[in-house]
Amino acid sequence: MHEHPSVQNAGEFLPFFLFVVFLAVAPYIAAVFRSNQKYSDWPLYRIVFWCLGAISAAAAITGPLAEQAHVDFRMHMAIHLLLGMLAPLLIAISCPMTLLLRTVSISAARKMTALLKSWPLRFLSNPTTAATLNIGGLYVLYMTDLFHLMHESPLLYALIHLHIFLAGYLFTISIVYFDVTPHRHSYLYRSVVLILALAAHKILAKMLYVNPPEGVSRAEGETGSMLMYYGGDVIDAFLIFLLCYHWYKSTAPRRIPAA
């Protein structure tokens, strides 16, 4: 990743970028209209968060940023933040599973609910499992030759970035319950896992600062690692706030109306 070939004009990417965003947003909006015909109106803020999440993910996989990420470690880390942290958080807040259950038939909703309660999803949604897939996957990516191999294979590159998004989303919904969550864990357990996961993420960023992947210049390695460290802090702060807020709401005494 030493060379920095010129990136195409941003305008050349715009049509495809908008197309990707449309593919993500259109089904959600259609589901909202269908849901509103049978239930109370779907909250506007969830629609906004879905759109922002779609834009974040689209910016990470298409456009100048995604193109430059192939040759610039700093841009690669920007994509890591967008695709693995910001987009999953925004999409989780938009509650896509709840919306889907409101739009499908009763029989389909029952089958989906049964699937959500199955033991494989119980295992995957456990915060420890989710954290291992999310943070552990990053260690495998940067501490092995996988980082270089993915830039040689378009299929591998796509699969790794799909894993980054799905693992980030799974981790987010395992820590803070925004959506339908059949398998719930205590706030204390989730808080401990979150703290350990954040610590592991920071340790990895420091390791990359000292020893960037082979072929990455010292300057790029340091800047990219700092972006991973401090940029991750910003997104993690929102995750911590939301977890603490939910915890507070669950324990705060309820006001009894006067007789």
Rounded to two decimals, the pTM is 0.91
> How many residues does this entry show for the chain?
259
Sorted by where each begins, the domain ranges of the chain are: 10-250
Q: What is the pLDDT of residues 1-43, one digit of tens each?
A: 544 444 455 567 788 888 899 999 999 999 999 999 989 999 9
Give the tens place of pLDDT for each residue, 156-184. 999 999 999 999 999 999 999 999 888 89
Residue-wise DSSP of 228-248: IIIIHHHHHHHHHHHHHHHHH
Query: What share of the chain has pLDDT > 90, as a percent?
Result: 77
Quickly list H helices, 150-186.
154-175
Count CB neighbours of 239 within 10 A.
20
Q: Is 181 helix (H, G, I), strand (E, B) or coil?
A: coil
Given the structure tokens 């987010």, which residue do they identify? 172
Q: Which two tokens stand for residue 247?
A: 């915890």
Q: How high is the pLDDT of residue 9?
A: 56
| pLDDT per residue as tens digits for the range 124-151 | 999 999 999 999 999 999 999 999 899 8
**Does residue 152 or residue 9 have the better pLDDT?**
152
> Which pLDDT does position 4 carry in this prediction?
45
Query: Residue 215: helix, strand or coil by DSSP?
Result: coil
Give whichever of 104-108, 149-153, 204-208 has the largest mean pLDDT: 204-208
Q: Cα–Cα distance between 103 and 105 in angstroms, integer?
A: 7
| Amino acid in the structure at residue 225 | S
Which of 40, 33, 81 lies closest to 60 in space, CA to CA?
A: 81
Tokens of 253: 């005494």
